[in-house]
């Protein structure tokens, strides 16, 4: 059993295996095996390009797609661990043992483990590196080291572009944070420091301009991929999108019932209700929240010692206040959704709390590093912070052997099939009514819809296409092509939808897959 599930976890595997084909066979980087024959189909989802590299290395070494996906999880966690250590030790000058403790706290965070079934959220591990490069760029600017400004600034610009291409949520939240942090930091600076900073920026304008040019180039792949999809009107409506997934005050405490220390709290507060499912479980342990509050009070008194921690905390607080749903049902996030570019593509606003850890943990660790206390007291505090992150309800629900059996049982499409569609790839596909109802409720339905039926054949088609290298017209994502009508393979007119799609796109050699037939693969012309 691996991290993930039969739905988003399988979509992740399909996209990661796309990168394996890109690196080993030279396949087009922006065209996946699903939503055939649309162009730039990678843009309908997060690209997973960064974890795609360790995934591909694991596949080349002989791992199957599911073990390789696990290897990519390990790699992303490792990137996050080292990044947080480097940020604390080299960026913020924290003592080594405390920097290591902060890195462990970041890597083992309760909220991160709870959402391992959304592996794109592992991109949080890239943001300590972005933060480190930003801090070093500003420091080199103060020190009048133009080449260092250029080096660190270009490093930030390139990584920002890669992160934007890799997964959208994190980089959008990070950008919103920076847009609030920058004016807050400037306002909190003493007048003489603000003038010195402006003068340094003017002296090194060439290096900064070069960094902006590099950043614009680094963003081109992301813009080329996603702008055409956005042009088709791909956006979440307010009511069925962000409004549905706004955090409230109870969300801040919802660490999930499996948390070792605070697991009973969500139930007592009534915050762990089935709807909207796992997307309510983005809370922070109480000890970490209390430590953050004390750290910010200290930072307000000790500006010189705390450095950038106060403006970081204020910026995180502002974003949190904007995102919260206030009684009876109001949120300032509507203004963000309406006026900030890209906000309409952000559905689960509560995910911001995961990315906020990139700022919260440095705030706490810097506080512990720069306030004198006995070693045994510090040890107890760190031990308490680590223990309360322990989560016993890990989402280990992706059955590797079951998925491998499906791939082997179905086998590759016949040679005469130029592309395929799926009715059923598993003989036990449709006795999953409880699973289907759970997904329907998570989408805001009444629990009698066909959510699981919609997901299962489409997701299986994506994995089969990626694994065997034959495209499928099926697929599913937050945004689907304009004429995607493959939600319910059990519908009486499903094959009619397929035929209409094939005629519109002039597809020939299209085959169907239904393992419940005597012959699983069948040509569309004889599939009625």
Its domain, for residue 344, covers 83-387
Mean pLDDT of the chain: 90
In this prediction, residue 233 has a pLDDT band, given cuts at 50, 70 and 90, of confident
Which residues does 74 contact at the CB level (< 8 Å), separation at least 6? Answer: 54
pLDDT the model gives residue 393: 86
Give 83-105 as a DSSP string. HHHHIIIIIS---HHHHHHHHHH
Angle at 367 (CA atoms; ends 261, 357), nearest 5 degrees: 55
Report if residue 73 sits inside a domain: no
Q: Do 294 and 187 belong together in one domain?
A: yes
**Domain end residue (candidates: 333, 363, 387):** 387
- Which residues, in sequence order, are bridge partners of residue 424? 514
pLDDT tens by residue, 418-452: 999 999 888 765 444 455 555 445 444 444 444 45
Q: Do 159 and 267 belong together in one domain?
A: yes
Q: Do 276 and 152 belong together in one domain?
A: yes
Report if residue 5 sits inside a domain: no
Q: Do 360 and 423 belong together in one domain?
A: no
pLDDT the model gives residue 433: 47
Q: Do 372 and 230 belong together in one domain?
A: yes
pLDDT the model gives residue 528: 41
Report if residue 170 sits inside a domain: yes
Q: Do 211 and 286 belong together in one domain?
A: yes
In this prediction, residue 278 has a pLDDT band, given cuts at 50, 70 and 90, of low
- The Cα 142–Cα 274 span in angstroms is 51
In this prediction, residue 383 has a pLDDT band, given cuts at 50, 70 and 90, of very high
Report if residue 317 sits inside a domain: yes
pLDDT tens by residue, 44-64: 999 999 999 999 999 999 999
Q: Do 414 and 495 belong together in one domain?
A: yes
pLDDT tens by residue, 317-338: 999 999 999 988 899 999 999 9
- Whether the pLDDT of residue 366 is over 60: the answer is yes
Mean pLDDT across 284-289: 96
Report if residue 381 sits inside a domain: yes
Report if residue 496 sits inside a domain: yes
pLDDT the model gives residue 479: 85
Report if residue 107 sits inside a domain: yes
**Domain end residue (candidates: 340, 364, 387):** 387
% of the chain residues with pLDDT over 90:
72
CA dihedral 196, 201, 203, 208 (to 10 degrees): 160
- The Cα 145–Cα 143 span in angstroms is 6
Report if residue 304 sits inside a domain: yes
Q: Do 364 and 222 belong together in one domain?
A: yes
Which of 80-84, 430-434, 489-493 is modeled with the greatest confidence? 80-84
pLDDT the model gives residue 435: 53
- Whether the pLDDT of residue 182 is over 90: the answer is yes
Total count of domains within the chain? 2
**Domain end residue (candidates: 387, 421, 439):** 387
pTM equals 0.91
Q: Do 362 and 312 belong together in one domain?
A: yes
pLDDT the model gives residue 54: 98
pLDDT the model gives residue 120: 93
Answer for the pair 474, 487: CB distance below 8 angstroms, yes or no. no
Which of these, 71, 31, 22, 28, lies nearest to 51 by C-alpha position? 71
Q: Do 490 and 355 belong together in one domain?
A: no
Q: Do 422 and 330 belong together in one domain?
A: no
In this prediction, residue 206 has a pLDDT band, given cuts at 50, 70 and 90, of very high
- Whether the pLDDT of residue 401 is over 60: the answer is yes
Q: Do 379 and 453 belong together in one domain?
A: no
């Amino acid at each position: 059993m691996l991290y993930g599930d039969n739905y988003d976890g399988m979509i992740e595997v399909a996209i990661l295996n796309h990168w394996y084909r890109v690196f080993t066979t030279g396949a087009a980087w922006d065209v996946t095996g699903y939503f055939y024959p649309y162009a730039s189909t990678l843009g309908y989802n997060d690209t997973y390009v960064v974890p795609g590299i360790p995934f591909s290395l694991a596949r080349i070494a002989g791992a199957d797609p599911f073990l390789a996906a696990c290897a990519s999880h390990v790699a992303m966690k490792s990137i996050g661990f080292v990044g947080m250590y480097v940020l604390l030790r080299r960026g913020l000058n924290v003592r080594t043992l405390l920097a290591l403790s902060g890195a462990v706290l970041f890597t083992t965070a309760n909220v991160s483990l709870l959402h391992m079934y959304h592996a794109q959220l592992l991109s949080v591990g890239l943001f300590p590196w972005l933060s480190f490069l930003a801090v070093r760029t500003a420091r080199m600017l103060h020190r009048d080291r133009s080449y260092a400004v250029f080096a660190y600034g270009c490093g930030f610009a390139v990584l920002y572009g890669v992160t934007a291409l890799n997964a959208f949520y994190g980089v959008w939240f990070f950008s919103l944070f920076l847009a609030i942090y920058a004016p807050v930091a400037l306002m909190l600076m003493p007048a003489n420091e603000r003038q010195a900073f402006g003068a340094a920026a003017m002296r090194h304008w060439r290096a900064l301009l070069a960094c902006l040019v590099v950043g614009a180039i680094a963003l081109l792949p992301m813009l080329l991929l996603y702008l055409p999809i956005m042009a088709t009107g791909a956006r979440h409506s307010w009511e069925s999108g962000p409004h549905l997934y706004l955090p409230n005050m109870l969300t801040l405490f919802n660490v999930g019932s499996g948390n070792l220390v605070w697991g009973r709290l969500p139930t007592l507060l009534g915050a762990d209700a089935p709807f909207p499912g796992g997307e309510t479980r983005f809370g922070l342990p109480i000890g970490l929240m209390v430590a953050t509050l004390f750290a910010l009070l200290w930072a307000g008194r000790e500006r010189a010692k705390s450095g950038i921690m106060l403006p970081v905390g204020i910026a995180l607080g502002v974003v949190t206040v904007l995102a919260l749903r206030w009684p009876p049902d109001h949120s300032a996030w509507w203004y963000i959704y309406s006026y900030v570019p890209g906000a309409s593509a952000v559905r689960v606003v509560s995910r911001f709390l995961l990315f906020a850890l990139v700022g919260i943990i440095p705030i706490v660790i810097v506080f512990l590093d720069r306030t004198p206390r006995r070693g045994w007291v510090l040890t107890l505090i760190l031990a308490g912070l680590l223990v309360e992150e322990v989560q016993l309800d890990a989402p280990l629900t992706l059955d590797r052997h079951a998925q491998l059996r499906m791939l082997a049982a179905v086998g590759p499409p016949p040679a005469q099939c130029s592309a395929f569609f799926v009715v059923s790839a598993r003989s036990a596909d449709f006795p999953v009514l409880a699973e289907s109802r759970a997904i329907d409720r998570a989408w805001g339905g009444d629990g009698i819809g066909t959510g699981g039926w919609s997901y299962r054949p489409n997701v299986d088609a994506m994995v089969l296409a990626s694994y065997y290298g034959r495209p499928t017209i099926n697929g599913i994502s937050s945004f689907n092509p304009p004429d995607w009508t493959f939600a319910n393979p059990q519908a009486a007119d499903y094959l009619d939808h397929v035929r209409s799609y094939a005629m519109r796109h002039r597809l020939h050699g299209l085959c169907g897959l239904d393992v419940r037939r005597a012959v699983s693969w069948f040509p569309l012309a004889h599939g009625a």
